[in-house]
Amino acid sequence: MTQAAWIIPLLPLAAFVLITAAGPRLPGRGAYVSIAGIVLAGIAGLVVLGEVIGGARADVTYTWAVLGAKPITVGFVVDPLSAIMLAMVGVVASLITIYSVGYMAGDPHYPRFFAYLSLFQFSMLFLILADNFLFIYAGWELVGLCSYLLIGFWFERPAAARAALKAFITTRVGDFSMMIGILIIFLHTGSLRFDEVFKSIQGGALAGPLLTAAAVLVFGGAVGKSAQVPLHVWLPDAMEGPTPVSALIHAATMVAAGVYLVARTYPLFLFSPNHAALTVVAYIGGITALIAATMGVVEDDIKRVLAYSTISQLGYMMLGLGVLGYTAGMFHLITHAFFKALLFLGAGSVIHGVATNNIKQMGGLAKLMPWTAWTFIAATLALTGIPPFAGFFSKDQVLAAAFAHDRVLWALGAAGAFLTSLYMGRLIWYTFAGTYRGGDPHGQAHAAGHAPGRPHESPAVMVVPLAILAVFAVFLGWAGAESLGNPFEKFIHFPGIEPVAPNFGLLVVSIAIAVAGWAAAAAIYVWRIVPSESLRQAAPWAYTLLVRRYFVDDFYAWVFLGLGGAVMRFAGLFDRYVVDGLVNLIGWLARQLGLGLRYVQTGREETYLLLVFLGVVVIVVVRLVW
Amino acid sequence: MTGEAIAFYILAAVTLGSAVVVVTSGNIVHSAAALVPGFLGVTGLYILLNAEFVAGIQVLIYAGAITVLILFAIMLTEGGTGLGGRQRNEQALVGATVAAAMAVLLIIVATRTGWTAGGGTLPPYTPGAIGQSFLRQNILVFEGTSIVLLVSLMGAIMTARRED
Amino acid sequence: MPGLTHYLVVSALLFSLGLFAVVTRRNTVAILMGVELMLNAANINLVAFNKYAAPGAMQGQIFALIVITLAACEAAVGLALVLAAYRTLETVYVDEINLMKW
């Protein structure tokens, strides 16, 4: 199976083609074909993972072009990194696709959704298997396209259309930076394949500040795709898309592609002098982790809170990779995929039940939607790093690697962990505890066939994936546990990097911070010892700063729409008056010339006679003078 | 100052003076009348140039026939009243300039070029020589001109005929 | 002693006077008179060249005779045209004959 792993992306691609061609006529209006495609891919992915754990590897190459004497080869690689990603994407995407059958039921554009979903799955799997910069860039662009299509799925809503455009354009900035980086690499190493490039770099073909520049430029693509500061602005707005989209693309897979890229091209960062590139990665990750967490505390939209949480957790992954915690970062990626997907699907279930995203209008859902509530809470415990849930193991490894490398980065991560517990506690309290504050959820024309009244649990097709993901969220962490010999680290590690020795004191501090965050949430929201209103009045400027997202969006609008707009207007004026003016001038001159020359043709032969003799005179004068 | 020179200057003055009258007179009949001294002046110049036969023909044809023909045309058309509108059109200024320029250029060319004198002399009695030449070397021209005369005669009659 | 250039100057002046008449005058007959003046000037040239530049043959004078003949033909036909035009168009002024002009 490993040797033929390149077939795996083709399964959802075939589903996409079938649904596009004959969508509404297929069984389940396209949904079953899409599910079949991804489930088969998921099973194949698990098989490949098993084989790779057993030691199988694969590297399939084709010659793409011949430049001069050197052929450029492209192909697929199956190694532990791509195998674990294959399996994760396969499983999570399958569960989300099944869930979508329930969530998108009744939507008039049902087949189109599953077509796009399958296209995205193909793109992501293709990206994962790439063994060269060309394929990874192609996959990069494809997932960007699918993200645009899916965020703007309900394109009749202007907010959704704008959000899709914002996502595409913001990631485009990152993609451009990545392209420059790839070109620099190609120029100096003469190849696009990862193994050849890394060998050249070890041999010194690309070194010093130029290597750092290339690495940072490639990281730029990851900054865009993984919504790191300063290109993080698109992810909160991307929540306009349907919730399964948010779960799949903007929590588990596409945004993880940036982390995967850094892991795949790790030698680029390792060989840069003084690990300068790694420092950039780590600090951007750390700053993002903290800043995103601060913004999550003041959001009232359940999906937006989770979006900021995703940005923050991606920051942790980058932080982990940046402090030489290769295994820690990848482990956090895998665990985060499961519990964040669970959180989003749970949020979708909630939204499906109450027909609103605003947590201030929810409440009391723990009794009304028990399966949703308890799986959500399990995922939250994983996210905030409470043992023995999955996130505890992975986040703690990241923080340990940071502590050993740079205390400042550890401080950023720790502060972020405190805030994570705070905003998630706040979210849980408003959403699930207390009594229901909202109105009749079926008053709106959203869900079909429901009896009016109070919100109720979602159908089985949505709840079962929640339960399956919850199992992963609870137990997956043990794959990286020290006490069990850390099998994950044995599987995924970078040759030459030793894992950080476990620091028991640090472990206790991490748990304390997470619990402190929960306690703070309880103090503010549950027992109201320091109610949120008084916090807001004590530091209104802080509140404004957070609600306005540090004014980053406003700044970008001012720069690009303001300054850029001025440039555009100038260019428009220039085009209209100078360029067009020049053309109009030529026309005007021709007209004036014609108007003037009219008088030569009088129609009277006395004039013509005169002109004849005038001509003779002129010719003779010219002949005499010259 | 030889007698030939005096004669030349007087004849030139007469010719050019009457030509000016022809060209600038407001009365068309005056113009036609001024043609006669002009042609006669030219006749005198021909005689000075030892072209007696040509001079004779000039008097007969030009001063005689053509002037009368012109007077006929004037009288048969509206110019016969002697009155009429202005005689110069609106491009007079430019026309005068062009004519003056033409004169200047021709004079410059004529005076600057070194004309070489050819060999031989004119025969003393030119009519005989002309006649001989017409019927020997230039007989084709002679016959052709006769045909042109015939054709133009017919043409003039046909054109001017009253159609009733 | 008047030389060749004297006659050429006279002929040049006569020619330009005729040219002025042709280009400037409104009456068709006046234009024809100008044409006659131009032809005469050419004749003077021819005969003068015959005497001063090529006295061996009679070509100049013969040419002048032919020109006189043709001038007569042309005057006849031209004036016949003027009469015919006058009958139809009621005018002899060239700037009033503009039926063909759009």
Residue with token string 């992915």 = A45
CA distance A477 to A388: 8
Q: Looking at the complex, report in whole angstroms how far the Cα of residue A577 sits from the nearest Cα belonging to chain B.
A: 42
Q: Is-contact C93 C26, C-beta < 8 A?
A: yes
Q: What is the CATH number of the domain that holds B1?
A: 1.20.120.1200
Query: Does B98 map to a domain?
Result: no
Can you tell me the mean pLDDT for B63-86?
82
Do B81 and B132 reside in the same domain of the chain? no
pLDDT band for position B13 (cuts 50, 70, 90): very high
For the segment A119-165, what is each residue's pLDDT rounded down to a tens digit? 999 999 999 999 889 899 999 999 999 999 999 999 999 999 999 99
Q: Which of C26, C38, C95, C97 would you mutate first to test chain A, the one with the most A CBs within 10 A?
A: C95
Can you tell me the mean pLDDT for A68-72?
76
pLDDT band for position A553 (cuts 50, 70, 90): confident
User: Does the pLDDT value for residue A466 go beyond 80?
Assistant: yes
Q: Which residue has the higher pLDDT, B38 or A624?
A: B38
For the segment B125-156, what is each residue's pLDDT rounded down to a tens digit? 788 888 988 899 889 999 999 999 999 999 99
**b (16+ CB within 10 A) / e for A30-50:** bbebbbbbbbbbbbbbbbbbe
Query: Does B93 map to a domain?
Result: no
Do B17 and B77 reside in the same domain of the chain? yes
Q: How many domains does chain B have?
A: 2
Do B2 and B67 reside in the same domain of the chain? yes
Do B68 and B134 reside in the same domain of the chain? no
Sort out which chain C residues have CB atoms less than 8 A from B96's CB and list them: 20, 24
**Which residue range is the domain that position B12 belongs to?**
1-87
Query: Tens place of pLDDT for every residue, chain C, 102 residues?
Result: 788 999 999 999 999 999 999 999 988 999 999 999 999 999 999 999 999 988 888 889 999 999 999 999 999 999 999 999 998 888 888 888 878 776
pLDDT band for position A446 (cuts 50, 70, 90): very low
Do B13 and B82 reside in the same domain of the chain? yes
pLDDT of residue A599: 78
Torsion angle of C-alpha atoms C94, C96, C100, C102, degrees rounded to 10 = 130
Is residue C68 within 8 angstroms of chain B, CB to CB?
Answer: yes
pLDDT of residue A439: 66
Do B81 and B131 reside in the same domain of the chain? no
Contact B45 C8 (CB under 8 A): no
How far from A69 is each of A60, A73, A393, CA to CA, in Å? 22, 13, 50
CA atoms in the 13 A half-sphere facing the CB of A532: 12
Residue at a domain's end among B62, B87, B112: B87
CA distance A170 to A552: 13
Query: Does B95 map to a domain?
Result: no
For the segment A502-518, what is each residue's pLDDT rounded down to a tens digit? 778 888 888 898 899 88
pLDDT of residue A455: 76
The string of DSSP codes covering C24-57 is HB-BHHHHHHHHHHHHHHHHHHHHHHHHHT-TTS
pLDDT of residue A445: 45
Kindly report the pTM of this predicted structure: 0.69
Do B73 and B131 reside in the same domain of the chain? no
Of B38, B107, B134, the CB nearest to C62: B134
For the segment A210-235, what is each residue's pLDDT rounded down to a tens digit? 888 999 999 999 999 998 988 999 99
Q: Is-contact A64 A137, C-beta < 8 A?
A: no
pLDDT of residue A66: 82
Query: Does B8 map to a domain?
Result: yes
The DSSP symbol for B116 reads P
Least confident residue range of A185-194, A201-210, C39-48: A201-210
Is residue B94 within 8 angstroms of chain A, CB to CB?
Answer: yes
Do B78 and B128 reside in the same domain of the chain? no
For the segment A507-549, what is each residue's pLDDT rounded down to a tens digit? 888 889 889 988 888 888 888 777 778 787 888 888 888 888 8
Domains and CATH numbers, chain C: 4-96 (1.10.287.3510)
Contact B126 C61 (CB under 8 A): yes
Q: Is-contact A238 A307, C-beta < 8 A?
A: yes
Query: Does B152 map to a domain?
Result: yes
CA distance C94 to C31: 9
Do B139 and B73 reside in the same domain of the chain? no
Mean per-residue pLDDT of chain B: 89
Q: Which among C36, C30, C31 has a CA at the least distance from the CA of C72?
A: C36
Q: Looking at the complex, report in whole angstroms how far the Cα of residue B43 sits from the nearest Cα belonging to chain C.
A: 10
Q: Which residues are CB-contacts of A207 (< 8 A; sequence separation ≥ 6)?
A: A201, A271, A273
CA distance A511 to A380: 14
Q: Which residues are CB-contacts of B160 (< 8 A; sequence separation ≥ 6)?
A: C79, C80, C83, C84
User: Does the pLDDT value for residue B50 go beyond 70?
Assistant: yes
Query: Does B163 map to a domain?
Result: yes
Query: Does B39 map to a domain?
Result: yes
Element (H, E) at A619: helix A605-625
Query: Does B104 map to a domain?
Result: no
Q: Looking at the complex, report in whole angstroms how far the Cα of residue B121 sits from the nearest Cα belonging to chain C.
A: 5
Do B8 and B55 reside in the same domain of the chain? yes
pLDDT of residue A447: 47
Q: Is-contact A446 A107, C-beta < 8 A?
A: no
DSSP-assigned beta bridge partners for residue A59: A77
pLDDT of residue A276: 85
